[in-house]
């Protein structure tokens, strides 16, 4: 079914709410109309002259009423209304069944007018009217507007204009159950062997709870999947539901968060109520850190009551159901360190399952899963693809396979081949090629020397990431790029970081040596250098003068702190050291480029000719890359 088929049920409901609002507004208007302008405005206004020169002399006035000392209502005699001339002043009856005056006019002085009436022997009475009516009316208007606003507001909040005001406290989980079966199994989840093993137990429990509780054992109520985005946490949770054949409630932590206090808690209550009806089942809460952040932090900002009460409710609910109720809660986050410790206590999310970025074996397995869906060249080397994609998540790899299929389709190919995959990888790293971006020959030359500088310096810095290729084809926001193959390493040494910094500085250094000036093209290079240098000094304790101290705060507690955790003097030292690191890297890059200036010219020339050159070309020009062993650090 197409996505935008309107849901008739929904439309009907929202329509009804709108009518309610309209109805109330109209009612208010009608009441206002009737009370405020009852007599006088439904009669016609005449001038004092008409009254004193026409009506009175002809004896057509039966009686008058002086209202609030400034207006006169005139009641004509029955005879008068029958006259052709005054037919238009015929009376109507108002909503209370009284007949209204025929006409009215304004006066300035009630006293003088009364004397005049006495003189002419016209019956009259005085009335003061309207004061209470005005008060009533203003109240009615006020109430009317409030009610209307209330309706409109709640219509908004009550779930994307669905118009269900009373649904605000309902949970927003998507339910996959009998009709909506989860078809994902463990076979769809590649790699993640340890994680799969851990959740296997949950599947067993959901399928056969007696087996475990028979001996008095307790099954964990919740499992927390911790890992970077796109690594397959949702997939894993779904696979558990698919394997166990139980309903699966999926929602995100931010679904609880609303601007009204108490709504989040109501939603949590509702979620667990629905889940209990469907047990055994799995509740999956993505991005649980949206509600589960440690309480009592960031007090400066205040206004955390809502999130705290939501979290409290979640804790209460998790404590409230027994292990035999058959509800398992799985949650995902990429920041377990910011979660409230209460969430991690036994009986709640007592199991933490790490879901890491895949290694080369894992990536191969993920490629294999996603390659099943596309027609690809049978000679395709999956190991090669896995080697080309370090640091990629499962979601990235799924994306590559999809992009590759699209690239091949665009070229009317029958099967997806290696080149399509390489293009897809490039695209995912760097954005789409912009072949028709206008770049002048001078600019092109600057870019070529800049990239050649990166390539050359990284070549002679043995700890820098190995080069793959250099291009001057504009792509995404970049005008050119040197592509490296980052090694898979978890920790970096000082040598590696300083070599990297040199390679990053290579672009700007080359520009300065060749053209005698620098350009704005090195902005992102400088940003990277600065960030890394700061990290070295202030976080990793890799600087002699600062020593073994880290100002990094993994708890995120100081995110809103106004004060730095170090003194002015230390701040100054940090700045000096960062500057020194950047300058050293720049000097070293310049030294290397000057030493191999011929190589730089050759690389730049080839780049201008071919636009793309590969590692092999660079090797032909510069000779084999020096090995780390023969290398001594030059940077202090």
List residues bridging with 73 in a β-sheet: 65, 104
* Contact window for ligand ADP (CB under 6 A) among 6-14, 224-232, 303-311, 314-322: 224-232
Residue closer to ligand ADP (CB basis): 247 or 394: 394
Query: Rounded CA gap, 451 and 482, in Å?
Result: 6
CB of 507 to Zn ion, least distance (A): 3
* Contact window for ligand ADP (CB under 6 A) among 143-151, 185-193, 341-349, 533-541: 185-193
Query: Rounded CA gap, 463 and 497, in Å?
Result: 8
Interaction between residue 480 and Zn ion (CB under 5 A): no
* Contact window for Zn ion (CB under 5 A) among 36-44, 140-148, 504-512, 589-597: 504-512
* Contact window for ligand ADP (CB under 6 A) among 64-72, 92-100, 189-197, 430-438: 189-197
Identify the residue among 398, 416, 448, 482 touching ligand ADP (CB under 6 A): 398
CB of 285 to ligand ADP, least distance (A): 11
Interaction between residue 240 and ligand ADP (CB under 6 A): no
Cβ-count burial of 334 within 10 angstroms (0-12 exposed, 13-18 middle, 19+ buried)? middle
Instruction: Specify the residue for token string 């894992």.
Output: 362
Interaction between residue 263 and ligand ADP (CB under 6 A): no
Contact 295, 243 (CB under 8 A): no
Compose the 312-351 pattern: x for residues touching ligand ADP by CB under 6 A, - for all others.
--------------------x-------------------
Cα 106 → chain centroid: 63
Interaction between residue 191 and ligand ADP (CB under 6 A): yes
* Contact window for ligand ADP (CB under 6 A) among 71-79, 393-401, 550-558, 623-631: 393-401
Interaction between residue 456 and ligand ADP (CB under 6 A): no
Residues with catalytic annotation? 451
Task: Kindly give the interhelix angle for 418-430 and 394-410, rounded to the nearest 10 degrees.
Answer: 120
CB of 366 to ligand ADP, least distance (A): 5
Residue closer to ligand ADP (CB basis): 331 or 446: 331
Identify the residue among 499, 525, 577, 617 touching Zn ion (CB under 5 A): 525
CB of 188 to ligand ADP, least distance (A): 6
Residue closer to ligand ADP (CB basis): 105 or 392: 392
Query: Rounded CA gap, 551 and 578, in Å?
Result: 15
CB of 263 to ligand ADP, least distance (A): 25
Q: Which two three-digit tokens encode residue 263?
A: 């709504």
Q: Is 172 helix (H, G, I), strand (E, B) or coil?
A: coil
Identify the residue among 130, 222, 232, 247 touching ligand ADP (CB under 6 A): 232
Interaction between residue 507 and Zn ion (CB under 5 A): yes
Residue closer to ligand ADP (CB basis): 195 or 504: 195
Beta carbons within 8 Å of 61's beta carbon, 6+ residues apart:
51, 55, 74, 75, 76, 77, 80, 122
DSSP per-residue letters across 179-218: TT-----GGGS-S-HHHHHHHHHHHHHHH-HHHHHTTT--
Interaction between residue 391 and ligand ADP (CB under 6 A): no
Interacting partner of 612 out of Zn ion, ligand ADP, none (Cβ under 5 to 8 A depending on kind): none
Beta carbons within 8 Å of 463's beta carbon, 6+ residues apart:
493, 495, 496, 498, 499, 500, 628, 631
Q: What is the footprint of ligand ADP within residues 26-65 (CB under 6 A)? A: none
Residue spans of beta strands (DSSP E) within 84-242: 103-106, 123-127, 174-176, 222-226
Query: Rounded CA gap, 334 and 353, in Å?
Result: 11
Query: Rounded CA gap, 262 and 251, in Å?
Result: 18
List residues bridging with 616 in a β-sheet: none
| Residue nearest ligand ADP, CB atom distance | 394
CB of 235 to ligand ADP, least distance (A): 4
Run of H or E residues at 525: helix 523-534
* Contact window for ligand ADP (CB under 6 A) among 82-90, 228-236, 445-453, 551-559: 228-236
The end-to-end CA distance of the chain, in Å, is: 66
Query: Rounded CA gap, 247 and 278, in Å?
Result: 7
Compose the 135-174 pattern: x for residues touching ligand ADP by CB under 6 A, - for all others.
----------------------------------------
Convert 311-339 into a string of H (helix), E (strand) and C (coil): HHHHHHHHHHCCHHHCEEEEEEECCHHHE
List residues bridging with 483 in a β-sheet: 469
Interaction between residue 474 and ligand ADP (CB under 6 A): no
CB of 340 to ligand ADP, least distance (A): 21
Half-sphere exposure of 448 (CA within 13 A, CB side): 21
Residue closer to ligand ADP (CB basis): 211 or 373: 373
Interacting partner of 233 out of ligand ADP, Zn ion, none (Cβ under 5 to 8 A depending on kind): ligand ADP
CB of 600 to Zn ion, least distance (A): 14
Query: Rounded CA gap, 49 and 309, in Å?
Result: 73
* Contact window for Zn ion (CB under 5 A) among 54-62, 363-371, 466-474, 518-526: 518-526
Interaction between residue 234 and ligand ADP (CB under 6 A): yes
CB of 503 to Zn ion, least distance (A): 9
Q: Is 72 helix (H, G, I), strand (E, B) or coil?
A: strand
Interaction between residue 253 and ligand ADP (CB under 6 A): no
Interacting partner of 398 out of ligand ADP, Zn ion, none (Cβ under 5 to 8 A depending on kind): ligand ADP
Run of H or E residues at 18: helix 8-36
**Backbone conformation region of residue 478, classed left if phi is above 0, alpha if psi is from -120 to 50, else beta:** beta
Identify the residue among 144, 253, 280, 394 touching ligand ADP (CB under 6 A): 394
| Residues found near ligand ADP in the complex (CB under 6 A) | 189-192, 229-235, 332, 366, 369, 394-395, 398
| Residues found near Zn ion in the complex (CB under 5 A) | 507, 525
């Amino acid at each position: 079914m197409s996505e935008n088929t309107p849901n008739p049920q929904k439309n009907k409901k929202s329509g009804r709410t709108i009518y309610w609002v309209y109805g109330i507004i109209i009612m208010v208007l009608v009441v206002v109309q009737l009370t405020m302008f009852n007599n006088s405005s439904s009669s016609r206004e005449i001038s004092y002259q008409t009254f004193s020169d026409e009506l009175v002399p002809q004896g057509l006035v039966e009686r008058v009423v002086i209202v609030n000392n400034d207006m006169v209502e005139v009641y004509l005699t029955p005879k008068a209304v029958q006259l052709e001339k005054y037919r238009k002043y015929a009376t109507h009856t108002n909503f209370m069944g009284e007949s209204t005056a025929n006409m009215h006019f304004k006066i300035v002085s009630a006293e003088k007018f009364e004397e005049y009436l006495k003189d002419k022997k016209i019956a009259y009475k005085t009335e003061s009217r309207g004061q209470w009516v005005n008060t009533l009316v203003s109240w009615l208007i006020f109430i009317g507007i409030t009610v209307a606003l209330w309706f409109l507001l709640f219509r908004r909040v009550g779930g994307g204009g669905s118009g269900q005001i009373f649904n605000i406290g309902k949970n927003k989980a998507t339910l996959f159950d009998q009709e909506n079966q989860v078809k994902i199994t463990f076979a769809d989840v590649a790699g993640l062997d340890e994680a799969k093993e851990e959740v296997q137990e949950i599947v067993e429990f959901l399928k056969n709870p007696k087996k475990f509780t028979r001996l008095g054992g307790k099954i964990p109520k919740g499992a927390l999947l911790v890992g970077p985005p796109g690594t397959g946490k949702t997939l894993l949770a779904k696979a558990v539901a698919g394997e166990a054949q139980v309903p699966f409630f999926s929602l995100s932590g931010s679904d609880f968060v609303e601007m009204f206090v108490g709504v989040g808690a109501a939603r949590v209550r509702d979620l667990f109520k629905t889940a209990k009806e469907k047990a055994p089942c799995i509740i999956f809460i993505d991005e649980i850190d949206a509600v589960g952040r440690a309480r009592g932090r960031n007090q400066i900002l205040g206004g955390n009551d809502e999130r705290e009460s939501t979290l409290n409710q979640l804790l209460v609910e998790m404590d409230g159901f027994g292990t035999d109720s058959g509800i398992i809660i799985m949650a995902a986050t990429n920041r377990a360190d910011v979660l409230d410790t209460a969430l991690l206590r036994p009986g709640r999310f007592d199991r933490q399952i790490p879901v890491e970025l895949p290694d080369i074996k894992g990536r191969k397995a993920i490629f294999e899963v996603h390659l099943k869906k596309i027609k690809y060249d049978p000679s395709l080397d999956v190991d090669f693809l896995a080697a080309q994609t370090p640091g990629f998540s499962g979601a990235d790899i799924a994306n590559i396979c999809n992009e590759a299929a699209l690239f091949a389709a665009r070229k009317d190919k029958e099967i997806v081949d290696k080149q399509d995959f390489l293009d897809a990888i490039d695209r995912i790293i760097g954005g789409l090629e912009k072949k028709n971006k206008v770049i002048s020959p001078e600019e092109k030359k600057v870019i070529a020397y800049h990239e050649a500088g990166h390539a050359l310096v990284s070549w002679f810095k043995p700890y820098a990431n190995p080069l793959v290729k250099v291009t001057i084809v504009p792509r995404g926001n970049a005008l050119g790029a040197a592509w490296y193959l980052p090694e898979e390493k978890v920790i970096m040494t000082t040598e590696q970081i300083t070599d990297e910094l040199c390679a990053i500085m290579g672009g700007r250094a080359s520009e300065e040596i060749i053209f005698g000036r620098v350009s704005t093209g090195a902005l992102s290079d400088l940003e990277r250098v600065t960030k890394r240098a700061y990290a070295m000094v202030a976080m990793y304790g890799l600087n002699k003068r600062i020593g073994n101290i880290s100002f990094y705060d993994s708890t995120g507690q100081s995110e809103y702190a106004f004060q730095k955790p170090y003194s002015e003097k230390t701040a100054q030292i940090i700045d000096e050291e960062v500057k020194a690191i950047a300058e050293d890297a720049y000097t070293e890059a310049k030294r290397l480029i000057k030493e191999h200036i011929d190589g730089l010219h050759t690389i730049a020339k080839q780049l201008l000719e071919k636009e793309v050159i590969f590692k092999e070309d660079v090797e032909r020009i510069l000779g084999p890359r020096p090995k780390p062993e023969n290398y001594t650090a030059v940077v202090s």
